[in-house]
Structure 1
Amino acid sequence: MHALGSGPVADVVGDVLYAALIYLLVAALLPRAPQIVPAAVAIVWCVAIEFFQLTGLPEQWGLAFRPAMLVFGTVFSPVDIACYVAGIVGVALCDAAVAHVRRAHAA
């Protein structure tokens, strides 16, 4: 998917943003949950998808339908897991800071 960028920097940024997106989707579905809940769900999802890549199915699906690569990736990389954690921790901290500011202004 060269139109979306390629190379190691693009891979890292893509992984971080993918994980942040998963966090935000879960947080939108569970708006009253503390930040640890969407963070935990997002980490479990991202790590599960990464290990699912070991089956080879995501790569096959991506070859048949290229947009599937955006959801499932293609091949396992332990570096991706670190990127996911970094993205989720970053967005969860931002979410907690925004929630703190909102509570402070509401008081």
Structure 2
Amino acid sequence: MSRLPVFLAAALTVVLGVGVRLLWDGPVAKYAGDALYTVLIYTLVVLVLPGVRPWAAALTATGLSWAIEFAQLWEIPALLRPVLGSTFNPPDLLWYAVGGAAAWAAHARRLRRRPAVPEG
């Protein structure tokens, strides 16, 4: 898979995340942001490992999101709090899984729709 569409997907994810925070407040923005956080991690995994299978990228992105959430049970250095957060919130785990599942579905669909390249 070419890296350009993945890079564009990562950029779009950041724009969507910022847009959600600017347009809405409260639970909608928070949980959409959680899901998009995992989608961004997913795109970064695919950028680093372009041949990764969608299920593996989804498990990796969701697992990293969960690991970061559980790390919030301990003290996160102040410098990292804007990116990693600071307060453990159990519902976030669900929304990370939603983001991972959505990214997996989009990636798998894209791979199915891509025309086969003839060998030779």
Same topology, TM > 0.5: yes
**How far is 1:69 from its partner?**
3.2
More helix by share: 1
Per-residue deviation, 1:28? 1.1
Match of 2:95 among 83, 89, 95: 83
Residue 96 of structure 1: which of 87, 90, 108 is its match?
108
CA distance in 1, matches of 2:51, 2:60: 15
Would you say 1:31 and 2:50 are equivalent positions? Answer: yes
Segments of structure 1 that go 5 or more residues without pairing to the other structure are none
Partner Cα separation in structure 2 for residue 95 and residue 27 of structure 1: 10
Q: Secondary structure at the match of 2:72?
A: helix
Q: Could you say which residue in structure 1 is the equivalent of 2:83? A: 71
RMSD: 1.9
Deviation at 1:33, TM superposition (A): 1.5
Highest RCO, 1 vs 2 (Cα 8 Å, sep ≥ 6): 1
State, as a whole percentage, how many aligned pairs show the same letter. Answer: 34
- 1:20 aligns with 39
Residues in 1 aligned to 2:57 and 2:83: alpha-carbon distance in whole angstroms: 18
Q: CA deviation at 1:10?
A: 0.9
Structure 1 runs, 4 residues or longer, greater than 6 Å off = none
Q: What letter matches 1:96 in structure 2?
A: A
Residue type of the partner of 2:105?
L
Q: Distance in 2 between matches of 1:82 and 1:40?
A: 13
Q: TM-score, normalised by structure 2?
A: 0.72
Provide the aligned length of Structure 1 versus Structure 2.
97
